[in-house]
Chain A
Amino acid sequence: MNAPRFPNVTRRNLLLGTGALVVSFSLRNQVFAQEGELNVPAKPPEPVAPGPKLPGSLADTPSLDAWIRIDADSSVTVYTGKAELGQGTKTSLRQIAAEELEVPPASIKLITADTAITPNEGFTAGSQTVQNSGTAIRNAAAQVREILIQQASSKLQVPADQLKAKNGRITGPDGKSIGYGEVVMTDMLHVDAQPKSKLKSPEAYQYIGKPFARVDIPAKVTGGQAYVQDMRLPGMVHARVVRPPSWFATLKDIDTASIKAMPGVVAVIHDGNFLAVAAEKEFQAVQAMRALTNLAEWEEKPRLPNEQDMAAVLQKSESEQGVVAEAGADFAGGTETFSAQFLRPYQMHASIGPSCSVAHLDNGTMTVWTHTQGVYPDRKAIAQMLGMPLDKVRCIHTEGSGCYGHNGADDAAGDAALIARALPGRPVKVQWMRDQEHLWEPYGPAMLTKVSASLDASGKIVNWKYDLWSNTHSARPGSAGALLPGQLMASGYPPDKPVMNITPLGNGDRNAIPLYSIPNMRVLWHFVADMPVRVSSLRGLGAYANVFSIESFMDQLAKEAGTDPVEFRLKHMDDPRARKVITTAAEAFSWSNEPMPEGRGRGFAFAKYKNHAAYLALAMEIDVDKETGKIRIPRIVSAVDCGEAVAPDSIRNQTEGGIIQSLSWTLYEEVNFDNTRITSSDWSTYPILRFSAVPGSLDVHIVDNPGSPYLGVAEAAQGPTSAAIANAIANATGKRIYNLPFSPARVKATLGV
């Protein structure tokens, strides 16, 4: 039937019975820009034929059968290049497809990211799954529905406008009906999408915006096979890697004969600084890994900076300067000028399950099951690393433990492939250990920000200068040099050269431009190319530190202006949706300036993620224990507008999760290191939030906008949460904390206890 063909299929003009579907776009499957996650400035695709841009990811993969397949038995398969990362993708995309295809969501088979069969949608990142893939699937589904109706029209001899699609069947006014499978024909959906689709109106929705149970949860709570960690293939061996003790370390001569002789060991892989073992049983692999760790001797180099001095280190390391925004020129106005400086340390993804992958070299084809965010880029990197042609490497997304950006997934996939190459015919599962995840995943970069602004006599901001120092937040594959095994192997690929890339999507500069109306503004990125500590994308990229800085400073200015912080924000906000979210959160919280008990404070913050995605505001109440420096949070109230709310419960779940994760980053998290080694190697040396610290209550109010475009939501809470805590601490104690995290020691030091 209409099986999808990838990559670029040849365009064929296809005349259906109605002759309606002649399509005039050529495929434009170029590598496309993802949320500032490419290292090189991405060129916009050049349209080959003139015409309006197709909606969402259809712009890159226009053929309808790339997204939707209908078989003779009427079964529906939907393809997405995006992956389930625990954000509910497998559920929300089914809701969207079901809505326009008029079939029950549960009846849809959904295939996620697989280089052999799904569209190339780059990375599942930047909160864009529903925005890009959802939009593509929605439009494709609507167009497929119309094609089916047209086809049924000629079969039933009933005008199309009298036919209705429902529950997988098309029915006429006389009750005569025909199943989708009966009208579908070979290659019928092998046509390019049109720019406009006949989308259902919000009043007619049956599935979009309705609460649906996540399809993946039942298996996950009953011991079903749900993760790459749960894969067991016939003949599979278990592998472990042995990493160097520190960055820049090199392996001295080693004789691995004693390891090879250990029980169950089937291979020891030694390739430059890359070391790994494979054994029949998992615990045998663990024991061999431990023995090999003890055996290996390394030459280490003390090249890490002084962690106590990161503000100076970042400023000293500036390699380039970029203008993020410039408006107006009057920086002398105003009656009084204020300034502040903020610091964010390196922070980890720190997934609960360390990275894992299964690879199998079979008949010259390397298949890799991976929890990567980008199967296509990962395939490219792995193929380059192994010196194999692209079409001999297949990457299949398989869920892993929580994904919050570019973590160890791609590296583990590379590890598995490199080991599997040495064991043709045998599937290899690599499971990282806890310390390997903590020490070797790419961290969210340390950042320094400096802000100054002037108020006029009426308490309005008249100018604003903002400077940020940061590495790139994008070191993803693409190239073999982005993979740890690629760097460690003897033929070592160097990491890609970091490039400052200023785009509306934002990178280190994400959310560096305040959304507030300020007549004179200048925002600069002082780019730090050198990366002594490995960094890449962590949920929100620069938005976390930038919103923390901007929203902390807004409160400081409000105080100077003698204005309530919520009122001060509204006074500088023109965007009506932002105003609505701010007032919704404030009202739901019962925001006021009533005095509070000793040690208790309230804090507020707002951001529109990336300045073009979801709006989120939150208010919280906190208690500061001056004796211990500990912070307790009795309640948090948030409001979020992400356009049309497709899956309200997933939006709530993502927002609750974003807030709690950001609480953890903000209160506890900092990667520590000495001059040679990272020292945050486990949960005792890198503590995160535990149950005793969860807020007393946490409410999420969704400001729904049925019919309006989807706005990415999964990262919207990271920035505002940190500033709301800082603002609440300042409100409670009169003292503001400028450096993250707000550990008990730092709280006490700030309070002078």
Chain B
Amino acid sequence: MKLNVNGSTHEVDADPATPLLYVLRNDLELNAAKFGCGLGQCGACTVMVDGKAIFSCLTPILLLEGREIKTVEGLGTIDNPGPMQQAFIEEQAAQCGYCIPGMMMRAQALLQSKPDASDAEIQTTLEPNLCRCGTHMRILKAVRRARELMKTAAATPASGGRKI
């Protein structure tokens, strides 16, 4: 079946019941979305589908044909990071970093639909995502910074993250 990931269409040869997470990580070799619980309890696997944050560990690919899937790889590259990535680098918002891609995608979904989300809304939105190293203060700061960087990026087009 065909999956649209980060703006490109991929032909995937997998059991339609396969959770999206395994297809992203293995078939498409995208590292960002992480396996955390397989239960939708921790958010490490969070990606965006049609602009909304979803748990990729719980979502079988049979539900996803024709829909737009976006992962951290679709936000920019190491040489040309997008605003959300830039914000996490600037705030040094990681310890082990394992939970961070999930945090970024949930925050991205919020800020794309609501560019002026309040600090409280950011905090509430991140509730489904767990961090064990205790990087919470920095994650919140990074998302607040991303909120500002995304506005600047929106005002100056063509400097955004490169599509993979």
Contact = CB atoms under 8 A, between A and B. Distances in A.
B158 interface: no
A270 interface: no
Contact of B134 (A226, A229, A230, A661): A661
Contact of A227 (B17, B22, B88, B98): B98
B62 interface: no
B99 interface: yes
A214 B134 contact: no
B144 interface: no
B35 A222 contact: no
Contact of A232 (B29, B98, B138): B29
Contact of B42 (A216, A352, A660): A352
A353 interface: yes
Interface string B1-26: 00000000000001101110010011
Given A281-B26, A402-B133, A694-B136, A223 B96 contact: no
Given A232-B29, A683-B39, A649 B92 contact: yes
Given A221-B85, A657-B134, A683-B42, A87 B95 contact: yes
A151 B22 CA distance: 55
Interface in B121-157: 123-124, 126-127, 129-138, 140
Given A213-B89, A214-B94, A402-B133, A434 B76 contact: no
Nearest to B161: A222
B73 A402 contact: no
A217 B98 contact: no
A690 interface: yes
Contact of A402 (B32, B78, B96): B96
B94 A221 contact: yes
Nearest to A86: B96
A393 interface: no
Q: Is the interface of B mostly helix, strand, loop or mixed?
A: loop
A653 B135 contact: yes
Contacts of A726: none
B100 interface: yes
Chain B CB within 10 Å, residue with most, of A221, A653, A654, A684: A221
Chain B CB within 10 Å, residue with most, of A220, A226, A689: A220
Nearest to B71: A223
A217 B96 contact: no
A208 interface: no
A657 B131 CA distance: 10
Given A221-B100, A221-B104, A86 B130 contact: no
A86 B72 contact: no
Chain B CB within 10 Å, residue with most, of A218, A219, A684: A218
Contact of B36 (A352, A654, A660, A661): A352
Contacts of B44: 352-353
A335 interface: no
A509 interface: no
Contact of B99 (A230, A352, A404, A649): A352
Interface string A599-625: 000000000000000000000000000
Interface in B69-89: 71-73, 75-78, 81, 85, 88-89
B96 A688 contact: no
B102 to A, nearest CB: 9
A688 B132 contact: yes
A283 interface: yes
Given A229-B35, A402-B96, A691-B140, A657 B133 contact: yes
Interface string A192-227: 000000000000000000000110111111111111
B140 A657 contact: no
B63 interface: no
Nearest to B18: A283
B124 A353 contact: no
A259 interface: no
Interface in A640-693: 649, 653-654, 656-661, 663-664, 682-684, 688-692
A692 B123 contact: yes
Nearest to B94: A217
Chain B CB within 10 Å, residue with most, of A232, A352, A354, A654: A352
B31 interface: yes
A113 interface: no
Interface in B37-89: 37-39, 41-42, 44, 71-73, 75-78, 81, 85, 88-89
Contacts of A692: 123-124, 127
B47 to A, nearest CB: 11
Contacts of A238: 26
Interface residues of B, number: 57
A312 to B, nearest CB: 32
Nearest to A662: B134
Chain A CB within 10 Å, residue with most, of B25, B39, B44, B131: B131
A683 B85 CA distance: 27
Contacts of A222: 32, 72-73, 75-78, 81, 85
Q: Is the interface of A mostly helix, strand, loop or mixed?
A: loop
B42 A691 contact: no
Contact of A216 (B31, B97, B129): B97
Interface string A680-718: 001110001111101100100000000000000000000
A660 B123 contact: no
Contacts of B34: 227, 229, 352-353, 401
A306 B22 CA distance: 40
A552 interface: no
A351 interface: yes
Interface in A216-273: 216-227, 229-230, 232, 238
Nearest to B60: A283
A710 B25 CA distance: 40
A431 interface: yes
Contact of B94 (A220, A656, A684, A695): A220
Chain A CB within 10 Å, residue with most, of B32, B71, B126, B127: B32
Interface string A337-376: 0000000000000111110000000000000000000000
A111 interface: no
B132 A218 contact: no
Nearest to A88: B95
Nearest to B27: A281
Contacts of A137: none
A85 interface: yes
Nearest to A434: B37
A225 B31 contact: yes
B117 interface: no
A609 B88 CA distance: 30
A434 B39 contact: yes
A403 B35 contact: no
A660 B136 contact: yes
Contact of B31 (A224, A281, A657, A683): A224
A661 B133 contact: yes
Contact of B131 (A286, A352, A354, A695): A352
A382 B97 CA distance: 28
Contacts of B81: 218, 221-222
Contacts of A219: 78
A533 to B, nearest CB: 21
A690 B136 CA distance: 9
Nearest to A401: B98
10 contacts: A223-B32, A223-B73, A226-B31, A229-B35, A282-B25, A352-B130, A353-B34, A660-B137, A688-B130, A691-B126
The 6 closest A-B pairs by CB, nearest first: A660-B134, A86-B96, A657-B134, A220-B97, A223-B32, A402-B96
Given A283-B18, A653-B95, A690-B130, 15 more contacts: A221-B89, A221-B94, A222-B76, A222-B85, A223-B72, A226-B97, A230-B31, A283-B14, A283-B15, A283-B22, A653-B92, A656-B134, A656-B135, A682-B41, A683-B39
Interface of B: 14-15, 17-19, 22, 25-26, 29-32, 34-39, 41-42, 44, 71-73, 75-78, 81, 85, 88-89, 92, 94-101, 104, 123-124, 126-127, 129-138, 140
